[in-house]
Amino acid sequence: MPTYDYLCTSCAHQFEHFQSMSDDLLTECPICGSKVRRLVSGGSGLIFKGSGFYLTDYKNKSENKKSQDKKEKKETKPKKIKEASDKKD
């Protein structure tokens, strides 16, 4: 349910109210009973909480496993060592 901001036209009391979009607008100030006007607000933006939505939620997991396997193969390859017999005297 959205939060609506209201402003009293008499006492300038500003307050928020949770209500359904299909509910009628509030008409009275809870403090003085005068008329209220609903304010236009920007609302809140989209908020992502957690770590790395792209890496954990949307990326194809089989591709991630393939790249990890390639990385492991590169790390386990033996390095070539030049032997002393290869040197020219």
Cβ neighbours of residue 35 under 8 Å, at least 6 residues apart?
8, 9, 10, 27, 28, 29
Every domain of the chain and the residues it spans: 3-39
What pLDDT, on a 0 to 100 scale, did the predictor assign at position 1?
73
Question: Which pLDDT does position 44 carry in this prediction?
Answer: 65
pLDDT per position as a tens digit, 1-41: 788 899 999 999 999 998 888 999 999 999 999 999 999 87
Instruction: Determine the average pLDDT of the residues in 57-71.
Output: 60
| C-alpha to C-alpha distance for 37 and 51, rounded to whole angstroms | 41
Higher pLDDT, 45 or 5: 5
